[in-house]
Amino acid sequence: MIRFDNVTKVYKAKQRAALDDVSVNIDRGEFVFLVGASGSGKSSFLRLCLKEERANSGTVHVAGRDLAKLASWKVPRFRRQMGVVFQDFRLLPNKSAAENVAFALQVIGKPKHVTDRTVPEVLQLVGLDGKGDRRPDELSGGEQQRVAIARAFVNRPAILLADEPTGNLDPTTSVGIMKLLDRINKTGTTVVMATHDDEMVDQMRKRVIQLEEGVIVRDEARGVYGGAS
């Protein structure tokens, strides 16, 4: 589903590589934690998966496509297969929860009857039944992240990329968000989650890929945050 072959990403000449000769394969349906210190390359990895950045060398395959060969006019359609969730939610502040989710369907031209049916289903799935009319500022942080996940998932993406999705949330709320991502993964969606949340990683016992200064230093099938000592 996601394959990096000898991928190097350098943003500026003379700077060290953000990703340095990274090779990794993530299969369809996997759940992967991407861990590592700040600046280790986690966000760069996710941006390369979305073709928001280009590799300087090596190849990135996502959903069967070599992203270097993907014409720019095809990128929007390619990204429809990807859901993305961020630490800071990135909701439209003047729209309700339901409208935020509906918007993701409207921009890809889904007719109103599809939106009317799908949005309540997805809001229910993320545990926001009855809160669709609320604007983001009328929701807690955890609820806002649920809206963001609903928006990312409403198109049933093959892949969900999450960049520190629990970074702004307290531990109890984070557990709820984690369980939700786990449920989404169990529907068949491949999930890659960049995180600093060591307790969460330790609890979930999923595959852990650890980056250090742009290099994969650990890849464990059922890992913990800090790795075996």
Ligand X SMILES: Nc1ncnc2c1ncn2[C@@H]1O[C@H](COP(=O)(O)OP(=O)(O)OP(=O)(O)O)[C@@H](O)[C@H]1O
The footprint of ligand X (CB under 6 A) covers 11-12, 18, 36, 38-44
Indicate the residue among 143 and 197 with the shorter CB distance to ligand X: 197
| Consecutive H or E run containing 120 | helix 112-125
Cα→Cα distances 22→16, 152, 182, 207, Å: 14, 27, 26, 17
Indicate the residue among 41 and 136 with the shorter CB distance to ligand X: 41
Q: Where are the alpha helices (DSSP H) in 126-204?
A: 141-153, 171-186, 198-204
Indicate the residue among 39 and 127 with the shorter CB distance to ligand X: 39
- Give the CA dihedral 133, 193, 86, 115, nearest 10 degrees: -40
Question: In the complex, what is the shortest distance from the CB of residue 36 to ligand X, in angstroms, rounded to a whole number?
Answer: 5
| Consecutive H or E run containing 88 | none
Question: In the complex, what is the shortest distance from the CB of residue 125 to ligand X, in angstroms, rounded to a whole number?
Answer: 28
Question: In the complex, what is the shortest distance from the CB of residue 226 to ligand X, in angstroms, rounded to a whole number?
Answer: 16
Question: In the complex, what is the shortest distance from the CB of residue 86 to ligand X, in angstroms, rounded to a whole number?
Answer: 11
Indicate the residue among 39 and 120 with the shorter CB distance to ligand X: 39
Distance CA 112, CA 3 (A): 36
